[in-house]
Structure 1
Amino acid sequence: MTHALVLAGHGRYEDPWHDGAAIAHRVAQLLADEGIDTTIRGTLPDALDHIEPDLVVVASGRGRPDPDFDGTDEDWLPFHARLTALVASGVPVLGLHQATNTFLDSPSWGPLLGGRWIEGTTWHPPLSAATFRVVSPDHPAVSGLSEISVEDEQYLALEVSPDVQVLVVADHEGTAHPVVWVAPGPGRIVYDALGHDVRSYDSPSRVDLFRREVRWLLSR
């Protein structure tokens, strides 16, 4: 059976604006609908130990590093090395929403994901009903979709690598801001900026997008 690992924000990778536990639970439900068994783990230094996932979903954010609680940057080196090794071995990755603002202590994560939240530059309007536009309709992850209508945040002015393939944008004041893209790899990597909270997954078109991303990542 296909097995996914969902990394929910915890400690240095848990921010106060996202309910990581609720999001991880909802994602696990959607994966179960696809016949995928899921393990949810908080982002602790041993979160990648003793597991061989077929898919890694990163639903972590930016918290407060506390060496007395969950270790120093040096303590986290094996975690980041293990994640890099999983990707290098071909395990696909889906980064959700605040994933561009996590693992700031890992110089490899931003290039791997294909983008970053930049403090003081990246921002979002208040959460509201929003429409996101598909710009690469020939890609299997969005084929047949033209837009996603959802109650969510619109991430704007993310730092995005020129090497990614942008699939979906948020249009704001005449500018198209990439919010869903395929990173160059190695392997299959998708970043999806939607999903501030579980309300996002009440949208049929958003759920359709998520399922398509997962199916493409797993070559289904």
Structure 2
Amino acid sequence: MAQESIAIHIGPRQNRKKAIVIYGVGEQHHPKEVGDILITLLKEQHFEVQSSNTLESLLNAANLKQLDLIVLVWTRGNITQQQLDNLLNAIKAGTGFVGIHASVGAFRSEIKYHELIGGQFLAHPGGINVTYQVYITDKQHPVMKSIQDFTVTTEKYYMLIDPAIHIVAATYFGEVTMPVVWTKSYGKGRVFYNALGHSVDVVTMPQVLDILRRGMVWAAN
């Protein structure tokens, strides 16, 4: 079992919202580097941020209940029943949840997790360097307002999706519309998922940074 490491990152204002960024498993996706970027975005929005490099942080149910937001940067891997139950219960009670990129493919056999996040990864046809257009499908949503369609070169995810999701950005596989960014509800909690995030250069694109920042703030409210 990996040794748990939790750090606290504090923004500059009082009465801050509280978040945890959990990252790990899947070095091809640079989880620590992406996690650090997300922590910086949250601090800029005056969050008090915890970070953890293992799922052991999900065993502290009391801590999870005090959080406004849980952010997961994870690839495949396994989650224990207690960890999953604590995560699901926290979101149902009103904590926001954000999944980044491969987190839609995490914990492949856990149906309840995929019900939470709203989909499951199937494949990325064409490999990791596909150039495609991302279309903003709900220009009035607070996460996407004022963001224009843009082009990205990265993995293009083909996914199974929950019909309950609200698609705010999408791309196409031929005639098939495939979501790239979506929101949904889970109990009293807000869920935000962004498929973009395979590499640091994609995460740091201005449009992607803006979507991530807004998505995390939206989910925490």
TM-score range, shorter chain: 0.7 to 0.9
Query: TM-score scaled to structure 1, two decimals?
Result: 0.82
Q: Which runs of 5+ in 1 are unaligned?
A: 66-72
Q: 2:76 aligns with which of 48, 62, 71?
A: 62
2:46 match: 35
Q: CA deviation at 1:130?
A: 4.1
RMSD of aligned residue pairs (Cα, Å): 2.0
* Cα distance change of structure 1 residues 130 and 29 upon mapping to structure 2, 3 Å threshold: farther
Q: CA deviation at 1:189?
A: 0.4
* Cα distance change of structure 1 residues 141 and 215 upon mapping to structure 2, 3 Å threshold: same
Query: TM-score scaled to structure 2, two decimals?
Result: 0.82
* Cα distance change of structure 1 residues 25 and 144 upon mapping to structure 2, 3 Å threshold: same
Q: 1:115 aligns with which of 108, 114, 119?
A: 119
Q: CA deviation at 1:141?
A: 1.4
Aligned positions of 1:24-173 closer than 5 A: 24-49=35-60, 51=63, 52-63=66-77, 76-118=80-122, 122-125=123-126, 126-155=128-157, 157-173=158-174
**CA distance in 2 between partners of 1:143 and 1:216 (Å):** 12
1:2 match: 17
1:160-181 CA-to-partner distances (Å, cap 9, x unmatched) read 1111111111234343211111
**CA distance in 1 between partners of 2:142 and 2:213 (Å):** 11
Does the 8 Å CA contact 1:200/1:206 hold for their aligned counterparts? yes
**CA distance in 1 between partners of 2:82 and 2:32 (Å):** 24
Identity percentage of aligned residues: 22
Structure with bigger strand share is: 2
Does the 8 Å CA contact 2:124/2:155 hold for their aligned counterparts? no
* Cα distance change of structure 1 residues 147 and 99 upon mapping to structure 2, 3 Å threshold: same
* Cα distance change of structure 1 residues 102 and 94 upon mapping to structure 2, 3 Å threshold: same
Q: CA deviation at 1:149?
A: 3.8
The letter of the residue matching 2:70 is V
**CA distance in 1 between partners of 2:96 and 2:196 (Å):** 19
The letter of the residue matching 2:121 is W
Q: 1:204 aligns with which of 182, 203, 206?
A: 206
Q: Which runs of 5+ in 2 are unaligned?
A: 1-15
**CA distance in 1 between partners of 2:49 and 2:41 (Å):** 10
Does the 8 Å CA contact 2:18/2:68 hold for their aligned counterparts? yes
1:20 match: 31
1:63-105 CA-to-partner distances (Å, cap 9, x unmatched) read 3x6xxxxxxx7xx111111101100110000110011111234
**CA distance in 2 between partners of 1:115 and 1:100 (Å):** 6
The letter of the residue matching 1:21 is K
Does the 8 Å CA contact 2:19/2:50 hold for their aligned counterparts? yes
Q: CA deviation at 1:183?
A: 2.1
2:186 match: 185
Q: CA deviation at 1:138?
A: 2.1
1:185-220 CA-to-partner distances (Å, cap 9, x unmatched) read 22210111011121113211111111221222233x
